Amino acid sequence: MSRPSWDIFCKVVDNFGDIGVTWRLARQLVAEHGLQVRLWVDHLPSFVRLCPQAMANAPQQWHEGVQIRQWPEPWQPAQVAPVVIEAFGCKLPEAYVQAMAAQAQLSLWLNLDYLSAEPWVGGCHGLPSFSATGYRKFFFFPGFRPDTGGLLREQGLLARRDAFDEAARERFLRSLSVIRRPGALLVSLFAYENPSLPSWLGAMAAGPLPIQLLVPEGKALGDVNHWLGQPLAVGEQAERGRLHIQVLPFVPQQDYDRLLWACDFNAVRGEDSFVRAQWAGRPMLWHIYRQDEDVHLDKLEAFLELYSQCGLPVPAQAALLGLWRAWNRSLDMAAPWQQWLAHRETLVEHARQWCAEQAARLDLATALVKFHRNWL
């Protein structure tokens, strides 16, 4: 009997978030579950940023055991897979849905939704809905609670992180031309444009300890350059007060994981880097993707309700909440940053505890495979 095959459909909405999640998922399904996976991508140049060896104009290519297919427009007929993942509500091609409905043996159709800590997610996870053809589609929600599908986490990820010792850290940083500055707090900044950033940079520059800020090439760099009053390109550095800034190149996912492990504090955005920062077991600051009517703030508060518990003393909890809320509500960051620094040691331990708590749950790829087996 041939191995089952899975189709994953991805439309690139926010540069790297959607493709980042689906590329990690596809690789894990192949490497750890022995599946044949086709990843359909509508914007290959974004994929190339994550997988530099890929080609931006190839209709079909293979990388790390995954078949990468250009999502054609208009759609060209393709054999339907036994398991079909519609990532983040990207809407399958109508001709593909019709081909699914015409099969003698049904495929499992999954809508892999966005990550959320909102309580209602658990009640919707795994529920079916019916398409216009009468075909059942199941909602599958990643999440932080036992009644959800869990988070992406490869086998051995935390062991590899723990083996990333001081010598490995220095070698990795030097590969990015980063030389550790004695006594400095090493911070990574991967965020959207944010009106709060100048006040945070100013607070770091005038703060009580030296800070080495690593800024991967991306959206936040424009705000950094504006605050500096000079344009920094990849590899260039600048210093203001106690703040040293260095621009890093955009790196593949495995190297971004190592960057998160190497830093003492990570500011991240979206979904993929958000989850990877949690597996780093380091203190973090999440820049949630903005939505109309500030719907994103409800999602932020739902996560904070979970994340700020985990045994945190009230003063440290208040410092964490204050920093995250200021960052995501475009408020001044100076006072919240100072309060966070005052509780830094407690928040370092909290990040480790949260990571261990989440790692005790089933990972997303395994949960998907288990759902398919139970459905058969």
- The residues that are catalytic are 18, 271
Strand partners, 136: 130
DSSP 60: E
What is the DSSP secondary-structure string of 225-268?
Answer: HHHHTS---TT-EEEETTEEEEEE----HHHHHHHHHH-SEEEE
d(CA 190, CA 152): 20
Token duo for residue 55:
């080609």
Cβ contact 161:280 at 8 Å: yes
Amino acid (one-letter) located at 171: R
Q: Distance from first CA to last CA of the chain, Å, rounded?
A: 16
Amino acid (one-letter) located at 279: W
Amino acid (one-letter) located at 286: W
Residue 39: which of 98, 370, 14, 58 has the closest Cα? 58
Amino acid (one-letter) located at 57: N
d(CA 192, CA 223): 9
- Whether the CA torsion 323, 258, 312, 17 is positive or negative: it is positive
